[in-house]
Structure 1
Amino acid sequence: MVRPIGMLAGAGFVLALLWSLAWNVVAYVQDPPVPTVEHEFHLKPKENISWSFEGVGGKYDNRQLQRGFQVYKEVCSACHSLKQVAFRDLEEIGFNKAEVKAIAKNWVVEVPSINPETGEPATRKAMPFDKFPSPYANETMARASNNNALPPDQSLLAKAREGGPHYLYSLLTGYQDQPAELLKKFPDAKTPDGLHYNPYFPNLNLAMAPPLADGQVTYADGTPNTQKQMAKDVSAFLMWAAEPNLPTRHAVGWATLAYLLVLTGLAYLAYRSIWADKKPKKAK
């Protein structure tokens, strides 16, 4: 008795799924979704940019990361925080202890602290063990300074956005005027005042003005300071900030693979040694 009831219940479930599928297909045919401006004009990140850290053996280029940090320091840090990264982490990209200490001490924004004599809130110069301080005291102040838009923290941005550094590079170099075709097809989609058109941003318009321009940052090593070069350098730096242990993971992965290959070889030799004098029984 239980089995027929189970079969009937299963058949009912399948019929309900088929009915739901048929209903949705009919609804889609009768009332197809209206194309949106984001669907037609949003672009995927550029994939023609090569990075030293790509691939199974990729490693960070410390010179590039130092240039990217310079771009972050001189341009991005005015609006964006880097709260998951400490000043002393910069030693991993080639800065020595004295340089890190000087960078922390001369950072424009001081670190929140407590006055030991009065117990009242205060600020102090940053130390190497401090995380990079936010340029704003709170979210309200950040929004008030950016047309009610909240600048995202950049610590994990390269991992949080699809495309990672490709997305960041595309966004930084993708500002342009709205295409005439867009305005012709979607006349109500004109970029509002105070926003900027960028086809690599999900909704095509963002509050951040184009942050980089040719010659904006002067590199100490003489690297050409074009907009594209600065965008690539800071994108690589933010990738390091989001995943500083990437080269270590690659090295551990290769070591693990070599260990497994050796272990497999030893296991095979052990198998041959154990069964070398064993003859298979003849079938009767």
Structure 2
Amino acid sequence: MTSHQSHGERLLGINGVELCAETFGDPAGPAIVLVAGSAASMLWWDADLCEQLATRGRFVVRYDHRDTGRSTCYPPGQPAYSFTDLTLDVLGIQDALGIERAHVVCQSMFGGIGLILGVDHPDRVASLTFVSSSTGADDLPSPSSDLAMPAEPDLSDAAAVVEYVVVGARAYAGGSPYFDEAAIRALAERDVARARSYASTLVNHYAIEFDGPARGGFGDIAAPTLVVHGDHDPLLPLPHGEALRDTIPGAELLVLKGAGHDLPRAVWDDFVSALVRHTEGGRP
């Protein structure tokens, strides 16, 4: 097996639930744990992107949150967990894979997981990266007035659910010239077919309690931090990323030109290069 191939999906028993995880690359390399955004399974961290990082010497981990993909699901509208539980899931995955300290990359709403890790569990975090995320401050811009989301689909109609995901992804791309509808449709079809309960995926992350860190806020993060933000992001416009950079001590900002609230393939070279630089150094 070459270093950049996947080691296959596996179900891990963690914190009383099952979490599906997949790894890429050499376990002796610096570990990068990819935390997807809300309602997103591991598939939204594209396997080709994971392999690009693995070929640069990184041990890459992607996983399904609770209520996504093959991980444990709860009835729609009844998630029995909090942000802290989801954060402890990341640490449980690190424990299961023998990773003492990880470079954690968090997307969108689940930047909150990175916040809790960085503030309450600094010994487990080698660095943090926030992608398309925010401090949540009240004075930051609202979502673009052009961000029109589709009506909820008939959940019994898989084709309608796929179309809903595609239309939503197009809206979140914010008019990006890099939006690839065929690729997103193929991803959505795999995601819907693979999920234990896509009905739960669509709603449960928006119903959980954000309990936040116990020991402080973004200004108390000591881990080296990279902020990555698209200049076309319609959900969290670029000032959200700038605010994260300004709030976290020593943080750096990478602006992805032409990207919306996602990581289109056209910006992967810039993202991978920045993340490799940010995660230099071997496993402690």
Q: Do they fold alike, i.e. is TM over 0.5?
A: no
Structure whose residues are more often strand by fraction: 2
Give the structure with the higher percent helix.
Answer: 1
What's the TM-score, normalizing by structure 1? Answer: 0.23
The structure whose Rg is larger is 1
